[in-house]
């Protein structure tokens, strides 16, 4: 389902962002892209069209022809046949890194050393050790570094957070986050199946952890109670699916959270893909249960269902713009990536963005991933050598 959501986002952005192109300011932030990954169009190229303060000025690949083809396709001025060449370009202020997981830390480090701000695709790094080293460097260099959990920048995510934090429904009792892709939807040749590239369902679908931690206002769990991996038939070191129970200490009160990720979710009766299983999270509080359907791509479609335990009634909300953090900023047609880009530019320009993902949170995210992998017996992922 995740792949279908991504493809639908491409279409959504083509339809809704077309005609909203903005003239570029003379001092627009110049961003370079490391990789020619499919996600680039949705994550940075099209969102930049409607932002007057951003220019996508270069793209790099280890294959110059591939970089040139992408540059021509998207109207990007410069193409480079190596990542180093792009980072050496003095006219580039920041980079977006969408390389395979195992290369995130290495190239984010090189970008920071080159004096570039970094928008880094999730997962932040291969493991927490690498994350801590990267954060230390970013702080020393006084450069912006942020993990691209785009969904967290959307008004719908903030609306749910406001409901949980309001106290009107009491304290959180438990959570359950799920993300799956139907069997066969991710080709076995895809980088997500490659151990050497820090692949695995938990790494790719780390949204289940980020959503859990976000709504609990939590860092690293006190304990991974259990973690069970279903190994890939092609490489037993790679988790095809992961189930885990986490125990968080919320100011002395323990809350258990379950997560489930699956890159090869079995079809119903062997033939019907579970396309309805969008990334979702259920949050049970003392007086209500909140279900956020499609939290990862809420700009396409979502609903927030609140079941009131006292009355037995259910009501549903949807939020595509505004909200408790963005206020009058933003448009209903903005994707999660467009909101993220808005915040990134704010941060680089020294303004306080409506929402931000802290470096401490990204370290805690990787610590949680490591702990789950260790508990499952697979061991934490390693950077690509």
Three-class SS of residue 32?
A: strand
Taking only the tens place, the pLDDT of each residue in 137-150 is 999 999 999 999 99
Give the domain 155-327+359-376 fold: Dihydrodipicolinate Reductase; domain 2 (3.30.360)
Reading the block at residue 169, the tokens are 């429904």
Going by CATH, does the domain composed of 2-151 fall within 1.20.1440.230?
A: no
Residues of the chain with CATH 3.30.360.10: 155-327+359-376
Considering Cα of 103, then 110, then 364, then 165, what sign does the dihedral take? negative
Assigned token pair, 247: 């125990």
Q: Note if the bond before 47 is cis, omega within 30 degrees.
A: no
Predicted local distance difference test score (pLDDT) of residue 267 = 86
Rounded Cα gap, residues 195 and 191, in angstroms: 9
Low-confidence ranges of the chain (pLDDT < 70): 1-18
Q: Where in the chain is the domain with CATH 3.40.50.720?
A: 2-151
| Residues 115 and 32: beta-carbon distance below 8 Å | no
- CA-CA distances (angstroms) from residue 221 to 245, 285, 370? 10, 19, 11
Whole-number pLDDT of residue 273:
81
What tokens appear for 145 in the block? 């570094």
pTM for this predicted structure: 0.95
The continuous run of DSSP H or E covering 239 comes out as: strand 239-250
The pLDDT value recorded for residue 235 is: 97
Residues noted as catalytic: 122
Q: Is 106 in a helix, a strand, or coil?
A: helix
Q: How does pLDDT run across 147-183, given as a tens digit for each residue?
A: 999 999 999 999 999 999 999 999 999 999 999 999 9
- Predicted local distance difference test score (pLDDT) of residue 276: 85
Eight-state DSSP code of residue 373: H
């Amino acid at each position: 389902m995740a792949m279908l959501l991504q493809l639908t986002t491409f279409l959504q952005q083509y339809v809704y962002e077309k005609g909203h192109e903005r003239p570029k300011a003379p001092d627009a932030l110049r961003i370079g892209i490391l990789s020619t990954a499919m996600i680039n169009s949705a994550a940075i190229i099209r969102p930049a069209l409607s932002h007057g303060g951003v220019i996508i000025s270069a793209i790099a690949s280890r294959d110059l022809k591939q970089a040139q083809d992408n540059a021509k396709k998207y109207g990007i001025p410069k193409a480079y046949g190596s990542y180093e060449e792009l980072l050496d370009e003095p006219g580039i202020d920041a980079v977006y890194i969408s390389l395979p997981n195992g290369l995130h830390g290495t190239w984010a480090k090189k970008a920071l050393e080159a004096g570039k701000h970094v928008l880094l695709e999730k997962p932040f790094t291969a493991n927490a050790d690498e994350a801590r080293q990267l954060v230390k460097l970013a702080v020393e260099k006084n450069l912006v570094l942020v993990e691209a959990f785009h969904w967290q920048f959307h008004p719908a995510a903030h609306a749910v957070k406001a409901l949980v934090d309001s106290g009107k429904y009491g304290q959180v009792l438990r959570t359950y986050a799920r993300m799956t892709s139907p069997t066969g939807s991710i080709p076995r040749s895809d980088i997500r199946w490659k151990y050497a590239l820090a692949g695995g369902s938990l790494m790719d679908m780390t949204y289940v952890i980020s959503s859990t931690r976000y709504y609990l206002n939590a860092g690293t769990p006190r304990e991974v109670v259990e973690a069970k991996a279903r190994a890939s038939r092609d490489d037993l070191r790679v988790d095809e699916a992961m189930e885990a129970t986490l125990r968080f200490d919320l100011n002395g009160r323990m809350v258990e959270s379950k997560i489930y990720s699956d890159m090869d979710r079995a079809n119903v009766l062997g033939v019907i893909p579970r396309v309805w299983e969008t990334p979702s999270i259920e949050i049970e509080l003392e007086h209500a249960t909140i279900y956020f359907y499609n939290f990862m791509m809420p700009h396409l479609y979502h609903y927030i269902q609140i079941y009131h335990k006292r009355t037995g009634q259910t009501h549903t909300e949807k939020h595509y713009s505004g909200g408790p953090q963005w206020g009058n900023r933003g448009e209903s047609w903005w994707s999660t990536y467009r909101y993220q880009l808005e915040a990134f530019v704010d941060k680089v320009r020294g303004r306080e963005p409506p929402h931000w993902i802290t470096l401490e949170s990204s370290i805690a995210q990787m610590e949680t991933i490591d702990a789950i992998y260790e508990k499952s017996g697979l061991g934490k992922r390693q950077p690509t050598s």
